[in-house]
Each structure stands twice: as C-alpha cells, then as structure tokens.
C-alpha cells in the first residue's frame, strides 16, 4: 500500500518540526511508545503546547 503522506499532510495539524509529519503509521507508533497521543487529536490551542500526554488529552476532553 502506498504511503499517503501528501494526503495525510492536508489533515495534519502538527506544528512540531518532525521527520514523521504526515507519515501517520510512524507518528502513531512513536507516540504510542511514549504513551502519548498524536497532534491531530488535539485542537490548535492544545497542539501548540506540544504536550501530547494522555493526561493532557483527557483534561481537554472532560
């Protein structure tokens, strides 16, 4: 299956300077290993804090 990087980038709100941006499979793998959640699950205001923790995700979705 072809990587959909270009397509994914249209919906990716991650502002972090990361080599995995738009490569969702690698992004999810990396964040999962760190017990984090990818940027696209966070609204802009929360995304720009770079706090990708599950705790932060739960807090903003209460």
Binding residues vs ligand SF4 (CB under 6 A): 8, 11-12, 14, 21-22, 24, 27-28, 38-40
Name the H helices within 1-62: 5-9, 24-33, 44-47, 54-60
Query: Smaller CB distance to ligand SF4: residue 40 or 60?
Result: 40
* Residues across the chain: 62
CB of 22 to ligand SF4, least distance (A): 5
CB of 2 to ligand SF4, least distance (A): 15
């Amino acid at each position: 299956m072809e990587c959909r990087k270009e397509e994914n980038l249209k919906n990716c709100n991650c502002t972090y300077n990361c080599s995995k941006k738009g490569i969702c499979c690698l992004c999810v793998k990396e964040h999962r290993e760190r017990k984090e959640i990818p940027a696209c699950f966070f609204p802009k205001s929360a995304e720009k804090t770079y706090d990708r923790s599950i705790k932060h995700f739960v807090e903003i979705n209460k």
